[in-house]
Each structure stands twice: as structure tokens, then as C-alpha cells.
């Protein structure tokens, strides 16, 4: 909770910032988050569905079932719980509707070596985005997805030191300023509900993704 409070303070939003500790793998915890948010602000206009974890980079046959379930429970089930609660609030509020942006990944399109759990869930997020975008039409809920590649964060810092490539080599990869991702999110979030970015890919220009590496 201290970390959440620190982020809220850094935002400069003052009383407009509400920090609620939530376990996205627990449906009751997610429901409580949305209920508390609706009580505080009267409505929910935007959900950035961002929670995600990875598993150790090990051969597929050596991946522990507990690690598989942990990734699926967070990246897929957790995203669905948040999506479902957002739908319930957004369709009932007046005026109704809102926007949901799911965090996919470059891994929603192409895997890295030894990443089956993360890759499988991120591919599933793309399907969930399409289904929710269709189901949200009748409620004026716009659903899209942002796929991020090699943003400069603590999580991605290892890319600059060298990571396994599809051909078995270890190679350093370029990174981009994470603020660029924020600009993309603001663009998507500020669109009127009559328009939607269904899929948006923002990535380090020279990272090995398009082509054959």
C-alpha cells in the first residue's frame, strides 16, 4: 500500500487520486476495487488493464505447473475480472459507456524463447480484446489494446545487457523511453467514444521483431 500511496502522491492529482490495494487474481478483491472507485468518483470512464507477470525463462518441459498457473491467473484471469467489473459499472452509469485499454505485448504477436506461459496469455489477451470490443458496442464501451516492445523500465533493463534470440544467440536489444508509451496511452484514452484504436503497437524502432530478427 505504501508504494501505491507514493505513486498517488507523485501524480500530483491530490484528492483525485485514489489508491486501493487489489489482488487481481481474486475476483472479490477486484469487485471491491471497482465499487470503491465508483463510490469515490461516481463513475468509471477508463480502465487500463495493466497487471502482468512472467515466469522463469526455462525450457517448456521444465516449467513448473505452479508458475504456469500463476502467470495465467494474473495475465489472463486477472485481466478478465477487471474487464468484467468495468463492463458492469460502465453499462449502468449515466451517461453510460467508457474505454478499456488492455496491455498486450509484442509477445501477443511473436514469442521469445522459453516464454510459453507469458506468450500464451498475451495471445489470449488479443482474443479477449476483440471479443470485448464486440460485446461492448451495445453499451458504448470502447475496448482496445496496446502492445509495447522494449520500453525502458526496471523490468526491461535486462534487454540492454543481452537476452536470448530465436537463433540461440545472446544479443543486446535497443530500448525506448517509457514516456513514449505514456503518450500513446493518452492518445488512446482521450479519443471520443465514437472512435477506437483496436490495436496499437509502440516499440523500440530497432528491436528484433519485424522481419526475421
Nearest to 117 by CA among 171, 84, 74, 169: 74
Cα separation, 188 vs 143, whole angstroms: 10
For residue 82, with 0-12 CB atoms within 10 Å meaning exposed, 13-18 middle and 19 or more buried, which class applies?
buried
Which SS3 state, helix, strand or coil, does residue 144 take?
strand
Q: Cell numbers 498486450 label which residue?
A: 104
- The answer to whether residue 81 is catalytic is no
Q: How far apart are CA 106 and CA 69, in angstroms?
A: 21
Distances in Å between the alpha carbon of 131 and those of 111, 117, 140, 187, 197?
Answer: 22, 21, 14, 22, 15
Q: Which three cell numbers stand for residue 40?
A: 469515490
Q: Which of 81, 118, 139, 187 is catalytic?
A: 118
- Residues labelled catalytic: 118
Amino acid at each position: 500500500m505504501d508504494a501505491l500511496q507514493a505513486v498517488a502522491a507523485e501524480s500530483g492529482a491530490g484528492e483525485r487520486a485514489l489508491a486501493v490495494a487489489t489482488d487481481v487474481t481474486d475476483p472479490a478483491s477486484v469487485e471491491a476495487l471497482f465499487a470503491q472507485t465508483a463510490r469515490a468518483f461516481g463513475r468509471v470512464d477508463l480502465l487500463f488493464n495493466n497487471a502482468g507477470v512472467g515466469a522463469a525463462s526455462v525450457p517448456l518441459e521444465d516449467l513448473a505447473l505452479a508458475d504456469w498457473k500463476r502467470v495465467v491467473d494474473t495475465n489472463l484471469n486477472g485481466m478478465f475480472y477487471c474487464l468484467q467489473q468495468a463492463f458492469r459499472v460502465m453499462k449502468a452509469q449515466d451517461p453510460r459507456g467508457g474505454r478499456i485499454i488492455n496491455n498486450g505485448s509484442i509477445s501477443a504477436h511473436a514469442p521469445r524463447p522459453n516464454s510459453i506461459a507469458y506468450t500464451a496469455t498475451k495471445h489470449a489477451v488479443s482474443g479477449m480484446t476483440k471479443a470485448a470490443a464486440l460485446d461492448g458496442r451495445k453499451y458504448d464501451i470502447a475496448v482496445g489494446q496496446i502492445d509495447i516492445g522494449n520500453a525502458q523500465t526496471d523490468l526491461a533493463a535486462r534487454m540492454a545487457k543481452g537476452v536470448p534470440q530465436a537463433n540461440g544467440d545472446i544479443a543486446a536489444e535497443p530500448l525506448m523511453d517509457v514516456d513514449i508509451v505514456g503518450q500513446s496511452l493518452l492518445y488512446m484514452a482521450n479519443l471520443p467514444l465514437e472512435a477506437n484504436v483496436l490495436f496499437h503497437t509502440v516499440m523500440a524502432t530497432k528491436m528484433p521483431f519485424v522481419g526475421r530478427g
